């Protein structure tokens, strides 16, 4: 991180032309609010879908829709020429995803001497997730020559890390055979400390409107393609062990990474609005 | 009292006549108090007119019409070519006064201005302004012909043809037969104006024959203002000779016809107009026979002024051969005119430049255009090869320099001509003979005679020891009898110039400089790409912190065309942005702007015209960015003295607003809904296309010091403009470290 930062600062001293910039200023620091209406997620997570979306209303799970996802970004860029620049963004994005729906636990059958894998259905409160992304980017203009202001196209590839926000999520378990109750309520559903990494490819169309010699208002639209790497089964079922020892979590991190990955993939479009400072 | 004032006015004008010195002619400039037509801002004129009722038009059309005429005509008034209070405008006004001597009220509504242009035209406007070009006046034979044209234009005004035509266009523009009907409608208006003009001329006392002959003026106005045979001995002197064979063997026919096809013309052809006018003439009896009523002397003086302006216009527009022919005609009466000879030097220098840059077709007529006596000169110059033209140019400019040794402008043209030749590889002094054509030819003829008379053996004996290669060299040497070539008449044309010490000194100066420049260029191309960029960047840093700013202009377009009202308003943004940016950078600006003419007056108006003329000269004739020799050096020097700077900047912003939506794109995005928001945001955010162009000219050297056009997709708003102008001023203000 620090390495990238130093590189950009050094490069900013070796500008290729003295004419680029807004009043000669070529460096931009931006703070933007991001917002998205999760239409895709709502389409796939309706009350009758395989993985419905539940909210916690007065301690009860209630089918609902995810109304808004949002976050903020802080970025820096440097205009090297009239229409080309480099920069990076730190993005913190909060979204909500449907909870896990199928849990798996192993049950040791003493008479038979093996583990019986039993799946249970879950109705789980929607998970709040937070994704941090570091995104180096290029900025360019087409048919325009007034970077860093005006219409700015941005393209970047970055690294993201997603985590479920820790809180007391409520859930209910439906057992296939209630007589075989094994105290699953004592189990934790998933590892809340796990992080899920991935890659983000971003294209953004921004309009930077100057309102003073060093202040810009920016607004625009951002498209991201988010891919989450698969998890390892760090805490899932350990075959051959007894129920007393194994299965710290009902849901292993492979399944969690799938859930988060689907949500991240569905977060394609967001709008941004913010301020930039030029120096 | 009125008669006394009239007499006083006429006396003053007679005094003016005596002051026109055609030997030291100065181009027409505006004089007297600046009229409201020039000083009142267009937006104000529009607002005043909108407040009054125009019953001929609907409210919607009225706004469009008034916007069109006010902005359109004001662009003519401020084009840099229009003048007021000058001798031509004053005389034209007097002729109009005579035509309308029984209608003072109408006369008081009209104003008459001159346009310095070789386009032979006159036109009137809805506002009551009548423009006449110097190109047209130079063609007239007498005052009566001018009077008829003025009467015709006045008739358009009294009959409100401009507004009627606009109204007709608005109602019929979507008709399937629009073009045909428009042509017919327009011609009817011309016939009407001709008939009324006949009546006015009859009342004024002009000759009916001359009214009828006016149409000959219009028919042949595309030709020079006179048809005088160009003699094949024109260039011949003791030092120069162009053989007859280089001139056309036959004359070029004048092809103009009266009864040409006018189907797609707004005006009827000459025959139809003559027939109509003939009938109109016969409706009146007791025609007077006057060709001149106001003043014969003033007519000829005004016409001469117009002809001198015609030469100037041709030089400015790069029509150098036309200029030379006109000078040839005028020289007969003004053989010692410094002005004409200076224009001639300009024209030959220009021709030489054009030939070097392979642009000669811009200055000479094509074969299909060759008509009349001037075609001889076009033919001759077109036929000249490079060396012939260079030599002729040098010869002419040198002779003019000898005739006017103290004239600095001519000296500068001479210096530049030599510089241009020396730096061009086709021109080599060693190719030229030290003998004149006569001497070389006589020697050659004498030798030929001796060959005929003497025995072959004798001739061979004198040459028998020379080798084959020596004989070849002799034949190539222009100073030998063997080397004489009558087709290369030009190599014998500068024998006296070659031995001129001043010429030799100038040649040496430019040769030395050329070698230095060549070495610098070689060094430049030996640099790495990065080093070259650094050199280029430093070269762009001019260290200019003071300049004259001429009238920042904004042209705002929409899908319907130019939005003049918006353009006017946006100019305020641009002016303010320039002011702001110049203060930020520390550049001093001296403004010349038509919006402040009410305070600055005629002097500022003339300065503005002079600078626009220089800009026009550069744009028209300097396509290779080599610089021009300014025509109006005295006027430019006055400007330089007043402001203390020689750098002038012009800025133009062009903006087009149109959301980038297409039916195909919109429908396509419906099938790709995730991209629909991007498509819409992009369509409206990118709706502005803006170009900001600036040109910085050194008025002393006649070169463009710096110029650039920047494109951006942003509106013409304050901070965008301020930043752009800041970059420009910063660039030209910086000095290399």
Residue A256 in tokens: 């969690």
Q: Residue B494 in contact with residue B395, Cβ under 8 Å?
A: yes
CA angle B399, B317, B623 (to 5 degrees): 95
Q: Does A210 reach chain B within 8 Å, measured CB to CB?
A: yes
Angstrom CA distances, B154 to A203, B82, B120, stand at 65, 19, 17
User: Counting Cβ atoms within 10 Å, is residue B53 exposed (0-12), middle (13-18) or buried (19+)?
Assistant: exposed
Residue in B with minimal Cα distance to A269: B674
Q: Which two tokens stand for residue B599?
A: 């305070």
On the question of pLDDT at B540 being above 90, the answer is: no
Residue B638, pLDDT > 60, answer yes
Of B685, B722, B723, the CB nearest to A151: B685
What are the counts of helices (DSSP H) followed by strands (DSSP E) for chain A? Answer: 3, 13
Say whether residue B284 is in contact with chain A using an 8 A CB cutoff: no
Of A18, A150, A211, nearest to B714 by CB-CB distance is A150
- Burial category of A105 from C-beta neighbours within 10 Å (exposed 0-12, middle 13-18, buried 19 and up): buried
Read off the pLDDT of residues B113-133 as tens digits, 9 standing for 90 and up: 999 999 999 999 988 999 999
Closest CA to B547 of B720, B372, B700: B700
Dihedral of alpha carbons B5, B10, B14, B17, sign = positive
Q: Are A215 and A277 in contact (CB under 8 A)?
A: yes
Spatial distance between the Cα atoms of A262 and A253, rounded to a whole number of angstroms: 14
Q: Do B719 and A212 touch (CB under 8 A)?
A: yes
User: For chain B, first and last CA: distance in Å?
Assistant: 71
Taking residues B623-633, what's their average pLDDT?
Answer: 85
The region of weakest confidence among A234-248, B13-27, B162-176, B676-690 is A234-248
- pTM, full prediction: 0.83
**Confidence at residue A32, expressed as pLDDT on a 0 to 100 scale:** 95
Residue B306 and residue B23: Cα distance in Å, rounded? Answer: 15
| pLDDT class of A124 with cuts at 50, 70, 90 | confident
CA distance A210 to chain B (A): 6
For testing the chain B interface, which of A151, A215, A223, A278 should be mutated: the one with the most B CBs within 10 Å? A151
Q: Does A149 touch chain B (CB under 8 A)?
A: yes
What is the per-residue burial (b if ≥16 Cβ within 10 Å, else e) of A36-48?
bbbebbbebbeee
pLDDT band for position B164 (cuts 50, 70, 90): confident
Separation between Cα atoms, residue A255 and residue A248, nearest integer Å:
14
Cα gap B689→B72, rounded to integer Å:
23
| Cβ–Cβ gap B681/A151 under 8 Å | no
How confident is the model at residue A68, as a pLDDT?
86
Of A117-131, A174-188, B567-581, B637-651, the range with the lowest mean pLDDT is: A174-188
Q: Which two tokens stand for residue A63?
A: 């089918």
- Residue in B728, B583, B566, B561 with CA at minimum distance from that of residue B651: B728
Per-residue pLDDT band for B13 (boundaries 50, 70, 90) equals very low
- Chain mean position to CA B314: 6
Which chain B residue has its CA at the smallest distance from A153's CA? B682
Question: What pLDDT, on the 0 to 100 scale, is given for residue B318?
Answer: 92
Q: Residue B242 pLDDT > 60, yes or no?
A: yes
Q: Which 3 state secondary structure label does DSSP give A108? A: strand
Helices (H) and strands (E) in chain B, counts: 30, 10
Band of the pLDDT at A3, cuts 50, 70, 90? very low
Specify which residues A154 forms β-bridges with.
A139, A204
Confidence of residue B541 (pLDDT cuts 50, 70, 90): confident
* Cα Rg of chain B (Å, integer): 31
pLDDT at A2 over 50: no
Mean pLDDT confidence for B69-91: 93
Cα(A114)–Cα(A112) distance, integer angstroms? 6
The average pLDDT across B205-223 equals 92
Beta strands in A113-234 (DSSP E): 114-124, 127-140, 150-164, 171-174, 195-210, 215-228
Answer whether residue A6 shows pLDDT above 60.
no
- Gap from A175 CA to chain B (nearest CA, Å): 40
Average pLDDT score over residue span B407-421? 94
Interface of B with A in 583-612 (CB under 8 A): 584
A279 and B CB contact within 8 Å: no
How does strand A69-79 pair with strand B122-124?
A: unpaired
Tell me: pLDDT of A242 over 50. Answer: no
**Preceding amide of A148 cis, omega within 30:** yes
Backbone angles phi, psi at B372, to 5 degrees: 75, -170
The C-alpha atoms of residue B577 and residue A269 are separated, in whole angstroms, by 38
- pLDDT, mean of residues B129-143: 96
Nearest CB to A19 within list B584, B685, B727: B727
Side-chain half-sphere CA neighbours of B162 within 13 A: 23
What residues of B are in contact with residue A80 (Cβ under 8 Å)? none
Dist CA B702 CA A226 (whole Å) = 60
Q: For B536, name the nearest residue in chain A, comparing CA atoms only.
A: A17
Distance CA B560, CA B413 (A): 47
Q: What is the pLDDT of residue B203?
A: 93
A144: which chain B residues are within 8 Å (Cβ-Cβ)? 711-714
| Residue B658 binned pLDDT confidence (cut-offs 50, 70, 90) | confident
C-alpha dihedral over A50, A56, A58, A59, to 10 degrees? 80
Expressed in angstroms, the distance from the first to the final Cα of chain A is: 22
Q: Nearest residue on chain B to A16, judged by CA atoms?
A: B533
DSSP H helices in A78-121 = none
Decide if pLDDT at B18 tops 50. no
A225 near B CB under 8 A: no
Do residue B584 and residue A17 have CB atoms under 8 angstroms apart? no
Q: Do B720 and A143 touch (CB under 8 A)?
A: no
Of B677, B719, B734, the CB nearest to A211: B719
Higher-scoring residue by pLDDT: B389, B11: B389
- Quick one: pLDDT at residue B464? 66
- Cα B114 to chain centroid, rounded: 15
Distance CA B341, CA B337 (A): 6
Please provide the average confidence, as pLDDT, over all residues in chain B: 88
Instruction: Note whether A221 contacts B677, CB cutoff 8 Å.
Output: yes
Phi, psi of B436 (to 5 degrees): -80, 170
Chain A positions touching B723 (Cβ under 8 A) are: 22-23, 146, 149, 210
Chain B touched by A22 (CB under 8 Å): yes
Partner residue facing A149 (CB), from B685, B689, B723: B723
A18 and chain B in contact, CB less than 8 A: yes
Which pair of tokens denotes residue B301?
């003086």
Q: How confident is the model at residue B4 (pLDDT cuts 50, 70, 90)?
A: very low
What is the percentage of chain B residues whose pLDDT exceeds 70? 93
- Tell me: the pLDDT tens digits for A8-66? 333 333 333 346 789 989 999 999 999 988 877 767 666 666 667 788 888 888 888 88
Name the more confident of A244 and B346. B346
pLDDT digits (tens, 9 = 90+) for B55-70: 777 777 788 888 888 9
Residue of B nearest to A38 (CA): B674
**pLDDT of B186 higher than 80:** no
User: B695-728, pLDDT tens digit by residue?
Assistant: 999 998 888 888 888 888 888 888 999 999 998 9
- Please report the residues numbered 161 through 200 in chain A whose beta carbons come closer than 8 angstroms to any beta carbon of chain B: none
Residue A218 banded pLDDT, cuts 50, 70, 90: very high
Banded model confidence at residue A186, pLDDT cuts 50, 70, 90: low
Query: Which pair of structure tokens corresponds to residue A101?
Result: 């729906």
3-state class (DSSP) for residue B703: strand
Contact B148, B194 (CB under 8 A): no
Once rounded to an integer, what is the mean pLDDT over residues A92-114? 73
User: What is the interface pTM, i.e. ipTM, of the complex?
Assistant: 0.77
* Partner-chain contact A220 B681, CB within 8 Å: yes
B205-208 long-range contacts, CB within 8 A, separation 24+:
B205/B288, B205/B290, B205/B293, B206/B143, B206/B144, B206/B147, B206/B148, B206/B288, B206/B290, B206/B291, B206/B293, B207/B144, B207/B287, B207/B288, B207/B289, B207/B290, B207/B291, B208/B281, B208/B284, B208/B287
- Collapsing DSSP to helix, strand or coil, B234 comes out as coil
Question: How much of chain B, in percent, has pLDDT values that exceed 90?
Answer: 56
The pLDDT assigned to A185 comes to 58
pLDDT of A248 > 80? The answer is no
d(Cα B38, Cα B42) in Å, to the nearest integer?
Answer: 9
Give phi and psi for A62, each to the nearest 5: -125, 130
- Judge whether residue B457 has pLDDT over 70: no
Question: Is the Cβ of A72 closer than 8 Å to some Cβ of chain B?
Answer: no
Who wins on pLDDT, B192 or B466? B192
Chain B residues within an 8 Å CB radius of A205: 678, 681-682, 685
φ, ψ for residue B71, nearest 5 deg = -70, -40
Q: Are the beta carbons of A205 and B681 separated by less than 8 Å?
A: yes
Best residue in B580, B583, B658, B727 to probe A by mutation, most A CBs within 10 Å?
B727
Chain B contact set for A212 (CB, 8 A): 719
The residues pairing with B290 across neighbouring beta strands, listed in sequence order, are B206
pLDDT at A243: 45
- Dihedral of alpha carbons B631, B637, B643, B645, sign: positive
Gap between the Cα atoms of B701 and B628, Å rounded: 8
């Amino acid at each position: 991180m620090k390495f990238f930062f130093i590189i950009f600062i050094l490069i900013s001293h070796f500008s290729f032309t003295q004419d680029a910039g807004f009043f000669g200023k070529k460096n931009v620091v931006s703070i933007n609010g991001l917002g998205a209406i999760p239409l895709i997620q709502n389409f796939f997570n309706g009350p009758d879908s395989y993985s419905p979306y539940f909210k916690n209303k007065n301690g009860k799970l209630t089918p609902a829709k995810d109304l808004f996802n949002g976050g903020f970004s802080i970025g820096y860029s440097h205009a090297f020429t009239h229409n080309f620049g480099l920069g990076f963004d730190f993005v913190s994005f909060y979204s909500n995803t449907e909870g896990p729906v199928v849990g798996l636990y192993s049950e040791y059958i003493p008479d038979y001497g093996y583990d019986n894998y039993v799946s249970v259905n879950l109705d789980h409160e929607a998970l709040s997730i937070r994704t941090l992304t570091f995104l180096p980017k290029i900025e360019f203009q087409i048919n325009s020559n007034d970077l860093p202001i005006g219409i700015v196209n941005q393209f970047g590839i970055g690294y993201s890390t997603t985590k479920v926000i820790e809180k007391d999520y409520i859930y209910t378990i439906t057992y296939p055979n209630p007589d075989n109750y094994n105290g699953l309520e004592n189990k934790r559903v998933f590892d809340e400390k796990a992080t899920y990494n991935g890659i983000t490819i971003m294209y953004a169309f921004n309009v930077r409107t100057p309102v003073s010699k060093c202040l810009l208002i920016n607004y625009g639209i951002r498209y991201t393609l988010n891919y989450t790497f698969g998890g390892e089964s760090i805490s899932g079922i350990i075959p051959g062990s007894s129920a007393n020892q194994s299965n710290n979590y009902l849901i292993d991190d492979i399944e969690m990474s799938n859930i988060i990955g689907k949500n991240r993939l569905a977060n394609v479009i967001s709008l941004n609005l913010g301020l930039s400072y030029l120096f | 009292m009125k008669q006394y004032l009239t007499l006083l006015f006429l006396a003053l004008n007679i005094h003016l006549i005596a002051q026109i010195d055609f030997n030291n002619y100065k181009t027409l400039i505006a004089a007297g108090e600046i009229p409201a037509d020039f000083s009142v801002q267009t937006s104000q004129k529009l607002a005043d007119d909108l407040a009054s009722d125009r019953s001929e038009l609907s409210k919607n059309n009225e706004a469009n019409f008034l916007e069109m005429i006010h902005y359109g005509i004001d662009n003519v008034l401020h084009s840099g070519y229009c003048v007021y209070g000058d001798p031509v405008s004053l005389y034209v006004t007097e002729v109009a006064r005579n035509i309308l001597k029984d209608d003072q009220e109408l006369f008081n509504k009209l104003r008459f201005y001159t346009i310095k242009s070789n386009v032979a035209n006159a036109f009137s406007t809805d506002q009551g302004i009548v423009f006449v070009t110097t190109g047209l006046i130079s063609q007239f034979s007498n005052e009566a012909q001018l009077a008829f044209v003025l009467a015709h234009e006045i008739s358009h005004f009294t009959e409100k043809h401009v507004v009627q035509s606009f109204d007709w266009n608005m109602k019929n523009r979507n008709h399937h037969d629009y073009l045909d009907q428009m042509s017919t409608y327009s011609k009817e208006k011309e016939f009407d104006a001709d008939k009324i003009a006949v009546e006015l001329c009859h009342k004024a006392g002009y000759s009916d024959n001359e009214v009828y002959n006016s149409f000959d003026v219009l028919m042949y106005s595309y030709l020079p203002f006179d048809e005088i045979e160009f003699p094949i001995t024109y260039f011949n002197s003791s030092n120069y000779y162009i053989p007859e064979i280089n001139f056309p063997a036959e004359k070029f026919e004048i092809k103009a016809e009266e009864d040409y096809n006018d189907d797609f013309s707004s005006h009827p052809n000459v025959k139809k107009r003559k027939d109509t006018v003939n009938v109109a003439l016969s409706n009146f009896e007791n025609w007077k026979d006057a060709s001149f009523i106001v003043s014969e002397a003033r007519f000829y003086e005004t016409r001469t002024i117009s002809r001198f302006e015609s030469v100037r216009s041709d030089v400015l527009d790069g029509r150098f051969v036309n200029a030379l022919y006109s000078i040839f005609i005028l020289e007969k009466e003004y053989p010692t005119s410094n002005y004409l000879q200076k224009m001639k030097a300009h024209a030959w220098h220009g021709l030489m430049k054009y030939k070097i840059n392979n642009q000669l077709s811009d200055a000479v007529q094509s074969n299909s255009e060759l008509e009349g006596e001037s075609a001889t000169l076009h033919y001759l110059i077109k036929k000249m090869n490079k060396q012939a033209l260079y030599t002729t140019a040098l010869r002419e400019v040198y002779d003019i320099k000898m005739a006017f040794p103290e004239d600095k402008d001519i000296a500068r043209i001479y210096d530049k001509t030599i510089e241009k030749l020396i730096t061009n590889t086709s021109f080599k002094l060693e190719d030229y003979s030290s003998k004149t054509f006569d001497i070389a030819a006589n020697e050659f003829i004498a030798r030929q005679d001796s060959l005929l008379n003497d025995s072959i053996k004798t001739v061979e004996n004198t040459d028998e020891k020379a080798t084959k290669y020596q004989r070849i060299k002799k034949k190539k040497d222009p100073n030998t009898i063997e080397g004489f070539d009558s087709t290369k008449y030009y190599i014998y044309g500068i024998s006296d110039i070659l031995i001129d010490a001043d010429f030799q000194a100038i040649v040496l100066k430019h040769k030395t400089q050329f070698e230095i420049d060549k070495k610098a260029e070689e060094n430049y191309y030996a640099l790495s790409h990065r080093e070259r960029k650094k050199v280029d960047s430093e070269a762009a840093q001019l260290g200019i912190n003071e300049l004259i700013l001429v009238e920042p202009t904004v042209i705002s377009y929409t899908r319907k065309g130019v939005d003049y009202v918006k353009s006017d308003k946006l100019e305020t943004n641009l002016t303010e942005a320039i002011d702001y940016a110049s203060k930020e950078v520390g550049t001093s600006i001296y403004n010349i702007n038509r919006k402040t003419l009410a305070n600055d007056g005629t002097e500022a108006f003339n300065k503005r015209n002079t600078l626009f003329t220089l800009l026009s000269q550069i744009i028209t004739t300097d396509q290779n960015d080599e610089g021009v020799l300014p025509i109006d050096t005295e006027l430019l020097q006055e400007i330089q003295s007043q402001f203390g700077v020689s750098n002038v900047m012009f800025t133009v912003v062009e903006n087009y607003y149109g959301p980038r939506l297409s039916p195909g794109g919109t429908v396509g995005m419906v099938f790709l809904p995730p991209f629909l928001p991007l498509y819409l945001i992009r369509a409206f955010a990118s709706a502005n296309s803006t170009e900001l162009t600036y040109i910085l000219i050194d008025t002393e050297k006649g070169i463009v010091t710096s110029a650039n056009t920047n494109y951006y997709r942003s509106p013409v708003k304050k901070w965008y403009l301020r930043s752009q102008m800041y970059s420009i001023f910063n660039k030209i203000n910086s000095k290399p470290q």
